Amino acid sequence: MDLWVGIPVTVAVGFLVTCVLGFVLVPLLQKLKFGQTVLDIGPVWHRTKQGTPTMGGIMFIIGFAIAFGVTLVVDHLMGGDLLVFGNEMPQSVRIKVYGGLLLSLGFALIGFLDDYIKVAKKRNLGLTEVQKTVLQILFIAAYLTVLYRSGCDYMFIPYVGMWYDMGIWFWLLGFVAIWATVNAVNFADGIDGLCPSVTMVACVFFAVTAILRGYGGVSLVASATFGALAGFLVWNWNPAKVIMGDVGSHFLGGIVVTLAYTLDAPWMILAIGVIYVAEFLSDVIQVFYIKTHNGKKLFKMAPLHHHYEMSGWSEKKIVCVFSIVGAIGGIVAVALTWFGRLQ
């Protein structure tokens, strides 16, 4: 199967499967009374979201799996070599793709446990921060160990080339980058349509970068994610009929990590994921500022999207503006990758 056929097919399958699943899963979540509990400290108008079905991320996880799996199987049966079935694809890429997808599912499991505890106890606090962090660190350690033992402990740096002898930095940067990413993506899931929208934008630029770097098959991971999120957005656009929950945001954090590491460029998360970075840092800065300025706030509310909500922006406006900013970050990442390569 030609890559330019595989990409639209993967997107279409992901979209259709996820969108159709909504007709089954959303009513089921409502029947099970798996509704979102809104914190009193949030914006007052968010209280109207009380009871909105959560754990909807299961929809696009299934959609992603079916879209990605079907495309690869069909390609294999047709004698193609778009990605992991092809012997021409470097082993390091196959390891990073499969290892990353397992990491994503591991994070999704953590998110599922967190969501289930929330809905079972009817409160907005699931796993404790310690429990969640320990589980995340265990999965991150497993992923990095697989990469290290497979000889994949290197990074592409624009205008410098491959950094092979990373030493302890492979572990330090890896733990910080992956942990921060999965939690940053989680922070972006605060208003209707925001997390899926900015992640779809990120997927476009990851796919473009993969093609430019000669790893065209890797774009199928981004394409499957894009299609599945597009199908989910049908249900999650304001006013949302379902919320992805931690099971969804944690999975997406893993996918972002998978794509960045498969392209040998974790630094790309800073540019392509500029919205994730802004959301994460705004929360960290807010906490630090409050503690060092006698309770005064720098932002009206954190993470950043809530600040703009409190400033009068509608949720739809925030989603659109943040997506545009994410696209600008994606352009920067692609430019650095293309012009920063060594001839």
Query: Residues, the chain, total?
Result: 343
Domain ranges of the chain: 3-339
Q: What are 57-74's pLDDT values in tens digits?
A: 999 999 999 999 999 888
pLDDT of residue 123: 62
Q: Tell me which of 80 and 169 has the higher pLDDT.
A: 169
Q: Which two tokens stand for residue 267?
A: 């630094």
Q: Is the pLDDT of residue 80 over 90?
A: no
DSSP 217: G
3-state DSSP call for residue 41?
coil
Distance CA 302, CA 286 (A): 7
Mean pLDDT score, 6-12: 95
DSSP-derived 3-state class of residue 155: strand
pLDDT at position 214, please? Answer: 84
**∠ CA(301), CA(307), CA(310), 5° rounding?**
95
92 pLDDT band, cuts 50/70/90, is confident
Q: Using the predicted structure, report yes or no on whether residue 82 has a pLDDT greater than 90.
A: no
pLDDT 10s digits, 287-304: 999 999 999 999 999 999
Looking at residue 226, what is its pLDDT?
98
CB contact at 8 A, 49 and 64: no
* pLDDT of res. 3: 85
Amino acid 87: pLDDT = 46
pLDDT of residue 183: 96
Residue 47 pLDDT: 56
What's the pLDDT tens digit per position in 266-278? 999 999 999 999 9
* pLDDT-derived band at 264, boundaries 50, 70, 90: very high
Region 158-172 average pLDDT: 93
The pLDDT of residue 245:
94
pLDDT in tens, 181-214: 999 999 999 899 999 999 999 999 999 999 998 8
Indicate whether 343 pLDDT > 60: no
For residues 337 and 265, the answer to whether their CB atoms sit within 8 Å is yes
Is-contact 214 171, C-beta < 8 A?
no
- Per-residue pLDDT at 55 exceeds 70: yes
